[in-house]
Structure 1
Amino acid sequence: MPRPTTPRLSPERIRQTGLEIIDADGLEALSMRRLAERLGVRAASLYNHVATKDELLQEIANGVMAAVDVSGFDADWATGLRIWTRSYRAALAAHPNLVPLLATGPDRRENALQRADAVHGGLTRAGWPQRYATMIGASAKYLVVGSALASFSGGFPDEPGLYDELPHLNRAHLLREHAAEIDADSFELALEALIAGLRTLHGQLTWAPDGQVGAQPR
């Protein structure tokens, strides 16, 4: 009789299956044993492709970051920020259970480091000093990660009676029904406010004789 075939493993199949487990049940649900069971192999077989669970998580996160688009910085810094943050938010929204890991920083993830480098480079080429480029990148990330971690509108229960004693929230029970729209529009409002403020700041920056950056008096 022919020998039973062993499912072929590949790094991509391992990463994709691991991501499916995380998407369905959260970060803590992923284990090498459960992953092996899902793939139909022995756990020992996985270690021919990935050394540890932590390494696997980093590879999964690195794959998700590949979807983040930083090409807009070739146009101008504001376009770059819009495209980068919107695609970043979309990548996180597609895999919300992975957000706590992605929010910790680029670590040694190649795709994350390359995108951080592209963002920083795009900002400094546009005339932003190094320190400001770093702070702008951080500020934009706070906006993206914060919007991906939780839904503002979805946090209001759709129980009209709950707000009877709260005259300024008398329509808050309607928010949950429109949560996705409100959350998306709120992200856009914050993003455009950030860019508008940065445009003003960019026009005020001036180089001092000692090489330091200051702001023009208003």
Structure 2
Amino acid sequence: MPRNPVLDASRIRAAALHIIDRDGLAGLSMRKLAAELGVRAASLYGHVATKDDLLHEVAGAILEEVDVGGFAGGDWRHGLVTCARSYRAALAAHPNIVPFLAYGPAHREASLRRLDVVHGALVAAGWTRREATMIAASLVYLVLGAALSSFSRGFSADRARYGDRYPNLDKAHLLPSVAAELDHDSFELALDAFVTGLGQRARG
């Protein structure tokens, strides 16, 4: 093994994401990242200027997984569904970075390239530029909301906590055991309602 490990952008991003996945956003520091890579912290600054810049690079790499190819055939509904599902999957793989992504796309090339495709496809399909912006924003709200928390896992498995005081929630204690399935199906329900509602508005 070389005494001074060779650094490149890809290796730095991968190590940073590993720390975020393991320790959370607050757990990432340039000092900890350097230790993870087996180098001095000063060595990192030749590749990335600040921690914030590094986070944008990590976020950009994750967002490369978002698929906007569904818009290519001219079906905006299919494009939105494909985009939303792949977006949620990309964030679900790295939930600790979701709060950082919630700040918006302004500094991330991957976000802006995908947003440009979505916006252009919606306008080409007949939506106004304002409507296209609102639809893209609504899609982000839907996906980030689904990625930020699990509705089902937020309940206690203690049956006694709900049964007497909240009679309409007498089965709520079962939700944590089916959280993955219910959260997936709830996201799909919201996505279907979103796209169907837009379709009705387009015909109105």
Runs of 4+ aligned residues of structure 1 deviating over 6 Å after TM superposition are none
Displacement of 1:107 in angstroms is: 1.8
Matches of 1:108 and 1:155, distance apart in 2? 33
Quick one: which amino acid aligns to residue 41 of structure 2?
A
Higher normalized contact order (CA 8 Å, seq sep 6+, divided by chain length): 2
Displacement, 1:54? 1.0
Per-residue deviation, 1:5: 2.4
2:30 paired with 1:32: yes
Alpha-carbon distance in 2 for matches of 1:31, 1:149: 22
Q: Which amino acid aligns with 1:129?
A: T
**1:136 counterpart residue number:** 135
SS of the residue 2:106 aligns to: coil
Distance in 2 (alpha carbons) for counterparts of 1:108 and 1:35: 22
Residue 93 of structure 1 is matched in structure 2 by: 92
Q: Greater shift after overlay, 142-151 or 161-170? A: 161-170
Distance in 2 between residues matched to 1:155 and 1:32, nearest whole Å: 33
Partner of 2:60: 62
State the alpha-carbon separation in 1 of the partners of residues 133 and 55 from structure 2: 26
Structure 1 residues not aligned, in runs of 5+: 205-218
Which position in structure 2 is the counterpart of 1:11?
9
- What's 2:161 paired with? 162
Q: Distance in 2 between matches of 1:58 and 1:135?
A: 24
Alignment identity in percent?
Answer: 57
Q: Please state if 1:21 is matched with 2:12.
A: no
RMSD of aligned residue pairs (Cα, Å): 1.1
Answering whether residue 117 of structure 2 is matched by residue 118 of structure 1, we say yes
> Which TM-score applies when normalising by structure 1?
0.90
Distance 1:117 1:169 in 2: 43
Asked if residue 172 in structure 1 is aligned to residue 177 in structure 2, the reply is no
CA displacement at 1:4 relative to structure 2:
5.9
Structure whose CA Rg is larger? 1
* Number of the residue aligned with 2:196: 196
Deviations 1:170-201 (A, max 9, x none): 11111000000000000000100111111110
State how far apart, in whole Å, the 1-side matches of 2:163 and 2:136 are: 42
Name the CA distance, whole Å, in 2 between partners of 1:202 and 1:126: 10
Count of matched residue pairs:
202
State the SS of the aligned residue for 2:16. Answer: helix
1:62-98 Cα distance to aligned partner (Å, 9 max, x none): 1111110000011200000000000111111111110
Q: CA, structure 1 residues 4+130, in 2 after alignment: closer, same or farther (shift >3 Å)?
A: closer
Q: Provide TM-score, normalisation by structure 2.
A: 0.96
Which amino acid counterpart does residue 134 of structure 1 have in structure 2?
T
